[in-house]
Amino acid sequence: MLTRYKFLLTVTRNNYFLRQLSLESPNVFAKPESRCRTVEDNPLNHNLEHEGRFYVVPPAVCNQLFRFGGIPKGYEVQAKTFDETCLMIRKPALEVINMMKVADYSRPIVKYVLFGERGAGKSLTLAHILHYALNSGHLIIHVPWVPDWMKKCKDHTRSETREGFRDTPLDSAAWLAHFKTQNQHLLSQTDLTVTSNYTWSKREETRSGSPLVELVDLGINRIKYASNIIVALASEVKALSSSGRCKTLVAIDGFNCFYNKRTMIKDENWKIVPPFQLTVTEAFINLVNYNWTNGSVVLTADRLVWSGNERGESDLPLYQLGKEAFELLDPFIPVHVPCYSEKEFHSCMDYYMERSWIQNENGNTEEGRSELMYLSTMNPYQLMKICGPL
């Protein structure tokens, strides 16, 4: 255990936070190395030799990154049953992490778009990238699932500052709490400050030079201004990154939902509100713009943001993003998230057998596995569903 602490300390010399993390919450849940597991739980050190193997995400990290969402619900239930949150180290995540390591941050931001079929692992790839961003000291702007704001909006009001726009007070405040939790270590540093003056009302204003965390706290406490604060926060983060005071990762799951024709929100006249009439949309479209440096943007183009017949026939980024979004994002790096390879499939099956998830002894036989390979078509989500009753 002590040698592992020392190893963590040497790798992340300048990252004071990580030292705190490792000393406060040692990974007592580490299981031995095997064909399906690796002890290396720091994504900074993940490479192709760990490919196809599971690593345990430390519970403290899980709580910090994913408390308000980020890991799909079905996987969360599995994690609760298995008594640990494990992520598989797969090529798409390693690709993006490696590209983020070697990118030239003096140039405008690089955009990565994850795409793949339903259940292939886009959200979990994003989760792995988030863990890397946390460990490497990035400021994280993470939207767990955009359709939650569009389809299951908790509350919406008419915007007071913009004509014809709608605010989403509760969702915005919840997101600001999520932002604060994910970045609590960086926000406590004093050199992240606001660059312009903002006046919210006669008595409330945020002066330039005040810490960024003050702005975030104001949004959480005063729900009325939360949506506008998110817009302000987006431009502040861009300014801070460009000036070199922090490096940023923007991770948005289901980005193509901003380009949906409509939301499930209806205004006072019972007319459907399109996404571009929501205040928060502007913040994230602004963040994805190429006019800032020292940042990375990872998006997913997911078929599931639509519903029913609108889902279309293709999972490819151009089809799912549509013309407008494509023109905004172009040029970007498309990263395909495929279904399991044979190595990954067997690794997953070994993991399920180890966790006693597959009780039937045929889970280990050649015949049983080839049957499951055929039935699940190597799709991770389908495999999870099929192995449920076994």
Partner 1 sequence: MTVLGVIRLSVLTVPRNVSLYRRGNEEFLHKTYSSYGPHYVKPHVTTEKRKELIESGEAETLKLIPIKAALNYETCSVFHDELTRKFTNHVMRCGKKALARELIEKTFEKIKRIQLEKYHKTPEDQKESIIKDPVKILHDAISNSKPLLELTPVKRGGVRYQVPVPITENRSLFLAIKWLITSAKDKDRKIHFPEKLAWELLDAAANQGRVVKRKVDLHRQCEANKAFAHYRWS
By CB under 8 A, name the binding residues for partner 1: 77, 81-83, 355-357, 359-360, 362, 365, 367-368, 371, 388-390
Q: Which is nearer to partner 1, 257 or 358 (CB)?
A: 358
What the block records as the tokens of 322 is 């549509």
Cα torsion 35, 40, 46, 49: sign: negative
Q: Which is nearer to partner 1, 199 or 365 (CB)?
A: 365
Task: Please give the Cα distance from 385 to 44 (Å, whole number).
Answer: 31
What's the CA angle centered on 202, arms 238 and 164, to 5 degrees?
A: 60
Q: Which is nearer to partner 1, 333 or 390 (CB)?
A: 390
Instruction: Report the half-sphere exposure of 203 (CA within 13 A, side-chain side).
Output: 1
Phi, psi for 141 (deg, rounded to 5): -115, 110
Q: Which is nearer to partner 1, 99 or 386 (CB)?
A: 386
- Angstrom CA distances, 379 to 6, 87, 243, 374, 384, stand at 39, 16, 43, 10, 9
Q: Which is nearer to partner 1, 47 or 359 (CB)?
A: 359
Could you tell me whether strands 205-206 and 198-199 are parallel, antiparallel, or unpaired per DSSP bridges?
A: antiparallel
Please, are residues 35 and 44 in contact by the beta-carbon 8 Å criterion?
Answer: no
Cα torsion 375, 379, 380, 385: sign: negative
Strand partners, 140: 249
Q: Which is nearer to partner 1, 45 or 360 (CB)?
A: 360
Q: Which is nearer to partner 1, 177 or 384 (CB)?
A: 384
Number of helices (H) and strands (E) in the chain: give both, helices first.
16, 11
